[in-house]
Chain A
Amino acid sequence: KNEVEQSPQNLTAQEGEFITINCSYSVGISALHWLQQHPGGGIVSLFMLSSGKKKHGRLIATINIQEKHSSLHITASHPRDSAVYICAPNSGGSNYKLTFGKGTLLTVNP
């Protein structure tokens, strides 16, 4: 069983729509990262959170440690938001490994 499950795997939206991507994980963690990768491009770290909620521009990330669940929301989506969004929890301590979800491919149409 994959330790990190993301849903949906693919998401198509119209410009302006509210987007939600979900992430569930089975391991105990100290923090969780949300990452963005445009096709053929490098990875950008959007958020690192260990509790509660963070907001940056049109992006909001929430995490519920007890339920082992995190969500990434995009408000007023735009075609430039089209990318793969990856959830990556880490267990912290001396374990330097991130565990990556398979990613959600988001396409926002104009």
Chain B
Amino acid sequence: DTEVTQTPKHLVMGMTNKKSLKCEQHMGHRAMYWYKQKAKKPPELMFVYSYEKLSINESVPSRFSPECPNSSLLNLHLHALQPEDSALYLCASSTVPNYGYTFGSGTRLTVV
């Protein structure tokens, strides 16, 4: 298995909702990432987990809460989002350190 699988592919949520994005890989990669990408812009790093520990938080608002329950799974919990948070959320994984990146196909999030 050489893929990073993200679910759901599309998500529409209200500003008072709580939802979660899921990312899974079975390549034995020990680093996992969340990126946010706005239209026609490069991805922006949000969080990095290394060996299931949060190693980088790029000053992301607390309405985004990451979780890494095990080495194969990465979640992003969403609560009280704003319309400007609408974007493509990409998960990626890599060997350590930072080689052999594999990206997921993303979750297209719309906040209404």
Contact = CB atoms under 8 A, between A and B. Distances in A.
Interface of A: 30-31, 33, 35, 40-45, 48, 86, 90, 92-98, 100-103
Give the dominant DSSP class at B's interface.
strand
Interface residues of B, number: 25
Interface string B70-109: 0000000000000000001010101001111111111010
B66 to A, nearest CB: 14
B43 A100 contact: yes
Contacts of B94: 96
Contacts of B15: none
A92 B97 contact: yes
A42 B100 contact: no
Given A31-B99, A98-B101, A42 B45 contact: no
B96 to A, nearest CB: 8
3 pairs of A and B residues whose beta carbons are closest in the complex? A42-B105, A100-B42, A43-B103
Contacts of B101: 33, 45, 48, 98
Give the dominant DSSP class at A's interface.
loop
Nearest to B32: A96
B56 interface: yes
A41 B104 CA distance: 10
A31 B98 contact: yes
Given A44-B103, A45-B102, A102 B42 contact: yes
